[in-house]
Amino acid sequence: MSLISYVQVAEDDPAFRAPTKPIGPYYAAAEAARFAWPMVSTPRGFRRVVASPEPLTVVEKDEIQRLVEMDFIVVCCGGGGIPVTREGRAFHGVDAVIDKDLASACLGREVGVDTLVIATDVAGVATGFGTAGETFLRQLDAARAEQLLAAGEFPPGSMGPKVEAAVRFVREGGTRAVICHLDEIGAAVAGTAGTEITGGTT
């Protein structure tokens, strides 16, 4: 079952003051100059950037939990969900993009799942990625993962958010998080593939 998901963010989130998430088409410099939007230069041209605020809660979390308890497979939080701010009983959409991995960790915590699986296009987490010293990490505890994140070992545009989401999940009550290849989800859940991150509650 597919469910459109609204994800609440804070209206005063610092990300709104410094948009960084590129979206939409690429523009030549002359075209980009016509827009009032914040833009960023890339090798392919200019792109609009929007904020990427922290997910606070998934609005439909109770409905999602009930559907899971009824044995539905729920497809939700697509693309990180639809970002909204709350004013009383009303929600208002905002120009932003929520990181899908952080949104998934938030939802996992809220519905009380034990395992978070983040599927991607590589076998798992590695230090020295893309270098001669690349080392695949089969097991990683939350504290070590945080150290490697702080050291800049995982790029912010790729593996960084995945590791951060995994750490948050186990720090906030989840038993384990696994980052794995799309083709190895079953094996990762079984504990024989991917990078398993644990040790959130010490």
Q: What is the pLDDT of residues 150-181, one digit of tens each?
A: 999 998 778 999 999 999 999 999 999 999 99
The structure tokens listed for 42 are 């890339």
Tens digits of per-residue pLDDT, 38-82? 999 988 999 999 999 999 999 999 999 999 999 999 999 999 999
**How confident is the model at residue 178, as a pLDDT?**
97
The structure tokens listed for 182 are 């799309």
**How confident is the model at residue 156, as a pLDDT?**
78
Tens digits of per-residue pLDDT, 83-141? 999 998 899 999 999 999 999 999 999 999 999 999 999 999 999 888 888 899 999 99
Amino acid identity of residue 30, one-letter, is A
User: Please, are residues 67 and 24 in contact by the beta-carbon 8 Å criterion?
Assistant: no
Q: DSSP assignment of 25-84, as one string?
A: EEE-HHHHTT--S-EEEETTEEEEEEB-PPP-EETTHHHHHHHHHTT---B--GGG-EEE
| pLDDT band, very low/low/confident/very high, at 200 (cuts 50, 70, 90) | low
**Residues in Cβ contact with 20 at an 8 Å cutoff, skipping those fewer than 6 apart:** 40, 49, 51, 52
Residue 146 has pLDDT above 60, yes or no: yes
Give CA separation, 161 vs 2, 62, 113, 158, 180, in Å.
Answer: 24, 25, 20, 7, 14
Residues 174-190 have a mean pLDDT of 96
| pLDDT band, very low/low/confident/very high, at 20 (cuts 50, 70, 90) | confident
Residue 32 has pLDDT above 50, yes or no: yes
Residue 202 has pLDDT above 50, yes or no: no
Q: What backbone phi and psi angles, to 5 degrees, belong to 87?
A: -135, 100
